[in-house]
Amino acid sequence: MTVLRRPLGAAVAVAVAAVGLTLGVGGTAHADSSCENEVSSVAASDLTADVTWAQQLFNMKRVWPMATGDGVTVAVLDSGVQADHPVLDGRVLSGKAYIDAESQDEKEQNLGDGAVRDCLGHGTGVAGIIAGGKSEEGDFYGLAPDAKILPVRVSNQDPNVDRDDDDEPLVTADDVADAIRWAADQNVDVINMSLKFTEDHGPLRSAVEYAIGKGSVVVASGGNDGDKELPVATAPVYPASYPGVIGVGAVDATLTKTAQSQWGPWIDVVAPGISIAAPQHDGDYQNDFGGTSGAAAFVSGTVALLAELFPDWEPQHYASQIIRTASHVAGPTPSLEYGNGLVDPYRAVTERLTDNAPVAITEVNPPVLTEEQAARHEDFAWMNRTALIIGLSAVAAFFITVTGVAALRRGRRVGWRIGKASKEDMIEPTDDGDPISLFQGIKGLKQ
């Protein structure tokens, strides 16, 4: 949602501490035997501080005595959710599938699993950030561990991988619109959409309006094409650009906007979105989850905490509280890159704003960039291209060197020595004509 920007309050308190609240989890996770794709995952014991930095940053131990998301339901429109993962066991309701967990073949669509299977891992990661319990080692946990997840499968392909035209997901914008309406009709408190469309679709816009009118807070990712050319990096994305939707950008551990995070007036707040931990659908964990998909999940988790504390609020009140309690980031706020700053769960649940009135909502148009912003983006794109060229050149030089050294060593073993080419070192062409001089340079290599 686009709002009237307001000054920020105090900075977020960053503390590295062990989490003291114990959350009960049960069941045994397993990789879905019907999923054919291979996944990259690590055990809970292998999660390092480098990937649990978001948990350290938010230090939810301070928040849970006040709210844990109890009694709140968050709809996750994604690739489904692997309900038997240890940190999600008992937290996932039976939802609805608009597409099979894996198959793209219309004849093989199995839509009867309630979306509690996930062959991609994306939806499981999002759900874990929102409502996951503590991992075995206690290093990973979600923001609202007592909230329930309602999975709605609208995708089964990685949103960060380019696809051929003939490999598009079977779901359409109309399907997603129907999924939004269905979730709203289940009286969910929050609808998380870590997905985007590049064009405005009437049915999608209408569905978002319907959900907000029903009392659901809609949170959407702000897009991951920020490192592309300017017309793409700053083009509006939907549903994040629709009025009333909380649009979310991504930052790294230094609270600097990630290169991939798109930017424009639809970014209301930012959240962790690179190299973060999240549950994987095989029962283990991803240690490189992120993008604005992960960032949106942190915001949805924060809304879930507020929904427990203030169940009678309207969607715009939750949005106002999230936006007006956002904390410091590396760049200026308010801005196109950072919105109003970093979502801050502690400030959101503890600060009581005296005039928590609905925020002003306007339409979102493509941003008008200043010369400084355009130059900064072009400089960054140039650095990316230069780094790629240098990297490829270094790899090529390495292989040339290795090949050359190997050739010289072989030459020494067989007695090669450097000398001038002689007449004997010439070869005759297969057709008629003069002899072709072959400058061999290394004695012994004769036709």
pLDDT digits 0-9 by tens, 63-96: 999 999 999 999 999 999 999 999 999 999 999 9
Per-residue confidence band for 182, with pLDDT thresholds at 50, 70 and 90 = very high
Answer yes or no: is pLDDT of 447 > 60: no
Residues contacting residue 164 through CB under 8 Å, at least 6 positions apart: none
Answer yes or no: is pLDDT of 438 > 50: no
Q: Which of 59, 18, 57, 54 is nearest to 287 (CA)?
A: 54
- Angle (CA) 213-215-221 rounded to 5° is 90
Please compute the mean of the pLDDT values over residues 246-257 and round it to a whole number.
Answer: 97
pLDDT over 90 for what percent of the chain?
63
Q: Could you tell me the sign of the dihedral formed by the alpha carbons of 96, 101, 106, 111, in that order? A: negative
Please give the pLDDT value at position 432. 47
Answer yes or no: is pLDDT of 349 > 90: yes
Q: Which of 67, 296, 321 is nearest to 190 (CA)?
A: 296
Q: Which of 96, 136, 182 is nearest to 277 (CA)?
A: 136
Please give the pLDDT value at position 91. 98
Q: How many CB atoms lie within 10 A of CB 104?
A: 16
Residue pair 49/277 in contact by the 8 Å Cβ criterion: no
Tell how strand 217-221 and strand 246-251 pair up.
parallel
Q: Which of 152, 62, 128 is nearest to 280 (CA)?
A: 128
Poorest-pLDDT segment among 97-111, 231-245, 299-313, 423-437 = 423-437
Please give the pLDDT value at position 5. 34
Identify the residue whose tokens are 């007006």: 324
Give, for 218, the enclosing helix (H) or strand (E): strand 217-221
Q: How many CB atoms lie within 10 A of CB 109?
A: 15
First to last CA, the chain: 75
Per-residue confidence band for 173, with pLDDT thresholds at 50, 70 and 90 = very high
Please compute the mean of the pLDDT values over residues 186-202 and round it to a whole number.
Answer: 96
Answer yes or no: is pLDDT of 321 > 70: yes
CA–CA distances in Å: residue 125 to residues 128, 385, 395: 5, 31, 34
CA distance 20 to 346: 16
CA–CA distances in Å: residue 221 to residues 81, 170, 211, 267: 18, 21, 17, 9
Please give the pLDDT value at position 169. 54
Q: Which of 3, 77, 6, 78 is nearest to 266 (CA)?
A: 3
Please compute the mean of the pLDDT values over residues 313-325 and round it to a whole number.
Answer: 95
Per-residue confidence band for 361, with pLDDT thresholds at 50, 70 and 90 = very low
Answer yes or no: is pLDDT of 382 > 50: yes
**What is the rounded average pLDDT for all residues in the chain?**
81
Please give the pLDDT value at position 315. 97
Amino acid (one-letter) located at 225? D
Residue pair 108/165 in contact by the 8 Å Cβ criterion: no
Question: How large is the angle between the packed helices 202-213 and 173-185, nearest 10 degrees?
Answer: 10
For 48, counting Cβ atoms within 10 Å of its Cβ (0-12 exposed, 13-18 middle, 19+ buried), the class is: exposed
Q: Is 29 helix (H, G, I), strand (E, B) or coil?
A: coil
Q: Widest CA span of the chain, in angstroms? A: 97
CA distance 170 to 189: 27
Amino acid (one-letter) located at 268? D
Residue pair 224/327 in contact by the 8 Å Cβ criterion: no
Residue 339 bridge partners (DSSP): 335
Answer yes or no: is pLDDT of 302 > 80: yes
Read off the tokens for 3: 């709002």
CA distance 198 to 235: 8
Catalytically active residues, by annotation: 78, 122, 293
Residue pair 305/279 in contact by the 8 Å Cβ criterion: no
Please give the pLDDT value at position 411. 63
Q: Residues for the chain: how many in total?
A: 447
Q: Is the whole model's pTM more than 0.85, yes or no?
A: no
Please give the pLDDT value at position 171. 85
Give, for 373, the enclosing helix (H) or strand (E): helix 371-414
Give me Rg for the CA atoms of the chain. Answer: 27
CA–CA distances in Å: residue 404 to residues 312, 397, 407: 73, 10, 5
Please give the pLDDT value at position 275. 95
